[in-house]
């Protein structure tokens, strides 16, 4: 043995065991118990309304700011507002029916409620940027047995179909209801679901991620629990919509519905001259690719476009649900339509009747704006002012009453 090795004998390092206070079984009990309590809380919260001051899906409680309301959460909003026996009128669609540019006090759907009276209960569940089969449509279908007397009101642009599985930013609600088995088992829509995953590169991984996420939430109810925390206590995800530190992390219940009023903006400032050309092109683009010249020099919808729209709208929901759906075909501001060429203007005007006919042929109810909505009733190309909203409500109310009578929601009126 060398002299150096005799002098230096490294001591064996002590094996760092778990902390001396750690008890594995107790830790596991705490973990399992904690998950059980959180899941139970999430389940319980999903059945209660934690939006007592609900007006509509303002940005603070929408995916625009990382808040993804659950189907249970939105269903609870409906239950809190509507009594059994009332005809439930759910407003869906996009920012037009959401009422962008209309302060809540004079929101068009509130005027609609006033016109319809207490026999009806109007709940605005439209998302800014949403589609006719997003959010509100999913909630309406989920509540179809609890509120059998219901009418869904949603809007589309002219010659636009409705997606059977919702639109990308809001499809999370469709997946949630679909994989929880809360929607009607409807073959044509199931086919769309299958095609959706077949078209994806990693279809098995995508399906597992989509369905697996829903199934995990079904067991652990984490979305309902953490949405409740976000709504009531603090938010945990910073985003650019609210630039201040306080805005990013404060409880979402502290945000108010402070929608601007288009009518506070002078007309000329709503429609700056430098935007007219672009907005006119957008208006033209709604129908440009859907039509071809007819033999008589007029316009006819392209057969392939007609077939595509019909296949989508037939698959979007089962026939009984289509019969209780009112589709409003939204119009662009006449200010831009006036800038179209005579031929484009003719096509644009024709498209509304064609779209309404297509939807009615598939058992939807359908309408478009009344003729008394003028360019003064718009805040921009698409959205209506307070005055325009009132006119829309005036036109929608009779349709809703007619649907309610047709479907037997209302007791017969004896002469």
Partner 1 sequence: MKSRVASVVSRLPGPLATAACHALSLGAGLIAALILHYVCYRIGLPGKPFIYVAF
Per CB under 8 A, residues contacting partner 1 are 19-24, 26-35, 38-39, 63-66, 68, 129, 167-170, 213, 216-217, 220, 222-223, 225-226, 236-237, 239, 241
Nearer to partner 1, 35 or 278 (CB): 35
- As measured in angstroms, the least distance from the Cβ of 84 to partner 1 is 33
Sequence-separated (6 or more) residues with CB below 8 Å from residue 300: 291, 292, 293, 294
Q: Is 364 exposed, middle or buried (0-12, 13-18, 19+ CB in 10 A)?
A: buried
- As measured in angstroms, the least distance from the Cβ of 368 to partner 1 is 25
Nearer to partner 1, 101 or 388 (CB): 101
DSSP letter at 63 equals: G
- As measured in angstroms, the least distance from the Cβ of 186 to partner 1 is 25
Nearer to partner 1, 59 or 334 (CB): 59
Nearer to partner 1, 95 or 346 (CB): 95
Nearer to partner 1, 39 or 332 (CB): 39
- As measured in angstroms, the least distance from the Cβ of 36 to partner 1 is 8
Nearer to partner 1, 38 or 276 (CB): 38
**353 in helix, strand or coil?**
helix
Sequence-separated (6 or more) residues with CB below 8 Å from residue 382: 95, 96, 330, 332, 333
- As measured in angstroms, the least distance from the Cβ of 39 to partner 1 is 8
- Give the torsion through C-alpha atoms of 319, 139, 65, 327, to 10 deg: 40
Q: At residue 327, what are phi and psi to the nearest 5 degrees?
A: -95, 125
Nearer to partner 1, 30 or 148 (CB): 30
- As measured in angstroms, the least distance from the Cβ of 161 to partner 1 is 15
Angle at 133 between CA 131 and CA 134, to 5 degrees: 65
Nearer to partner 1, 63 or 379 (CB): 63
- As measured in angstroms, the least distance from the Cβ of 100 to partner 1 is 14
Q: What is the DSSP string of 234-303?
A: B-----TTS-SHHHHHB-GGG-------GGGS-HHHHS-HHHHHHHHHHHHHHHHTTEEE-TTSSEEE-H
The closest alpha carbon to 98, from 231, 254, 257, belongs to: 257
Distance CA 345, CA 348 (A): 5
**Cβ–Cβ < 8 Å for 310, 358:** yes
Nearer to partner 1, 26 or 274 (CB): 26
- As measured in angstroms, the least distance from the Cβ of 153 to partner 1 is 23
The secondary element (H helix, E strand) that includes residue 72 is helix 71-81
Q: What share of the chain is helix, strand, coil (3-state, %, to 5)?
A: 50, 10, 40
- As measured in angstroms, the least distance from the Cβ of 11 to partner 1 is 14
DSSP letter at 113 equals: H
């Amino acid at each position: 043995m060398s002299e150096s090795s005799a002098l230096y004998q490294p001591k064996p390092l002590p094996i760092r065991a778990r902390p001396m206070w750690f008890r594995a079984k107790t830790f596991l009990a705490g973990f399992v118990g904690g998950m059980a309590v959180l899941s139970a809380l999430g389940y319980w919260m999903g059945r209660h309304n934690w939006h007592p001051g609900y007006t509509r899906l303002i940005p603070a409680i929408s995916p625009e700011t990382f808040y993804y309301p659950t189907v249970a959460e939105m269903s609870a909003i409906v239950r809190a507002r509507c009594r059994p026996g009332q005809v439930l009128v759910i407003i869906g669609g996009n920012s037009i029916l959401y009422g962008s540019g209309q302060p809540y006090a004079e929101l068009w759907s509130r005027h609609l409620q006033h016109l319809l009276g207490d026999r009806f209960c109007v709940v605005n569940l439209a998302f800014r940027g949403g589609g006719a089969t997003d959010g509100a449509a999913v909630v309406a279908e989920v509540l179809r047995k609890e509120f059998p007397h219901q009418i869904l009101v949603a809007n589309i642009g002219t010659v636009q179909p409705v997606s059977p599985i919702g639109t990308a930013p809001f499809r999370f609600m469709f997946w949630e209801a679909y994989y929880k088995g809360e929607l009607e088992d409807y073959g044509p829509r199931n086919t769309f679901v299958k095609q959706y995953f077949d078209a994806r590169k990693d279809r098995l991984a995508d399906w597992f991620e989509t369905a697996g996420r829903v199934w995990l939430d079904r067991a652990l109810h984490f979305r309902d629990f953490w949405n409740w925390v976000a709504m009531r206590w603090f938010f945990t995800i910073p985003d650019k919509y609210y630039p201040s530190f306080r805005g990013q992390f404060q409880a979402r219940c502290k945000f108010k519905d402070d929608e601007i009023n288009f009518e506070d903006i002078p007309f000329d400032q709503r429609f700056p001259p430098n935007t007219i050309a672009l907005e006119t092109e957008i208006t033209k683009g709604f129908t440009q690719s859907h039509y071809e010249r007819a033999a008589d020099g007029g316009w006819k919808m392209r057969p392939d476009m007609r077939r595509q729209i019909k296949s989508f709208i037939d698959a979007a929901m089962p026939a009984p649900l289509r019969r209780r759906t009112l589709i409003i075909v939204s119009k662009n501001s006449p200010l831009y339509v006036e800038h179209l060429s005579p031929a484009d203007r003719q096509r644009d005007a024709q498209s509304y009747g064609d779209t309404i006919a297509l939807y009615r042929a598939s058992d939807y109810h359908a309408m478009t704006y009344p003729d008394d909505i003028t360019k003064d009733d718009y805040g921009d190309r698409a959205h209506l002012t307070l005055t325009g909203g009132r006119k829309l409500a005036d036109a929608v109310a009779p349709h809703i009453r007619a649907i309610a009578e047709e479907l037997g929601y209302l007791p017969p009126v004896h002469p």
